[in-house]
Amino acid sequence: MRIQLGYTIELDVSAPMAVVAVLNVHPSRVKDLLAPDEVQISPRVQSESYLDAFGNRCLRFRAPQGVVRLSNSTLIQDSGDPDPIPWNAPQIPIEQLPPEAVQFLLASRYCEVDQLSGLAWSLFGQTPPGWPRVQAILNWVHNEVTFGYQFARSTKTALDVTVEKRGVCRDFQHLAITLCRAMHVPARYATGYLGDIRIPPVPGPMDFSAWFEVYLGGRWWTCDARHNTPRIGRVLMATGRDAADVAITTSFGLSWLKNFEVVSYEVTGDPVAHPLTSGQSCASETLTVTSIL
């Protein structure tokens, strides 16, 4: 199957400043692209593309004062298969994990493993290791937390979610990641496109989506505590320790998210670029970071 991808993002920039954007399809999916995947910046400025410490493709540029528009439209080939479930994937002892996976057992900005270890072991200490333990964590988070865009807060951590029991996609994933890490299962945050493909349409504007991956049986597997069911058409953009590592934009100065639109849908005929517009303001759960230096 083919999936049309695209976005329009507008930032209101208070003064000339550096911006880092993580908006490209992940390098692991580049081979599936059927059209160029290039961020268009308006006004035109020079930019530099690079891979960060997690292997994500990033774009760095100096934004002028005023409204800066980032946009893209591309096409990708997808298998059309739902997320695989690793029923028999074993949990690997910590001392046998590849070194690059060990960091995803540790606490991070939004995932307080040390503070939630007691809760994790009290809830899941008796579950069989491996996928059954991960599935138990997914079930618990999915059932305990209520979803709502009105619950979005950029400072909300996994510990906060255990108290408030409500949040958006990233909050479901942060809590599940933290519980997995506490149970010695490496877990990393993931973000990308997840359209309403072959499911009933979900009302409201689309956003980039958050999910996470666990390391079992020698590879990474997709998990989603918000939906807790295999989905079709995920397109990975970036992975990291938590949402702070994969913010769609990080501006080194004061800026505001003014307009935001994302599309991801299955193409059944001749592909036509989706007419993304920038005239409508849209609340987004996607993390943007402002760093005032």
Alpha-carbon distances of 229 from 111, 135, 180, 222, 239, rounded to whole Å: 23, 11, 18, 11, 20
166-167 and 146-147 as β-strands: parallel, antiparallel, unpaired? parallel
Mean pLDDT of the chain: 93
Burial class from Cβ neighbours inside 10 Å (0-12, 13-18, 19+) for residue 150 reads: exposed
Residues of the chain within CATH 2.60.40.2250 domain(s) are 2-80+246-290
With respect to CATH, is domain 2-80+246-290 assigned 2.60.40.2250?
Answer: yes
Angle at 129 between CA 127 and CA 135, to 5 degrees: 65
Helix residue spans in the chain (DSSP H): 99-102, 113-124, 131-144, 158-164, 169-182
Which pLDDT belongs to residue 282? 35
Cβ-count burial 118-144 (b if 16+ within 10 Å, e if not): eebeebbeeeebbbebbbbbbebbbee
Cβ 158 vs Cβ 177: under 8 Å? yes
pLDDT in tens, 196-236: 999 998 887 889 999 999 999 999 999 999 999 999 999 99
For 54-58, 126-130, 170-174, 196-200, which range has the lowest pLDDT when averaged over its residues? 196-200
Helix (H, G, I), strand (E, B) or coil at 155: coil
Residues of the chain within CATH 3.10.620.30 domain(s) are 94-242
For 64-78, 123-137, 275-289, which range has the lowest pLDDT when averaged over its residues? 275-289
Whether the per-residue pLDDT at 272 is higher than 70: the answer is no
With respect to CATH, is domain 94-242 assigned 1.10.167.10?
Answer: no
Of all residues in the chain, what percent carry a pLDDT higher than 70? 92
pLDDT in tens, 128-164: 999 999 999 999 999 999 999 999 999 999 999 999 9
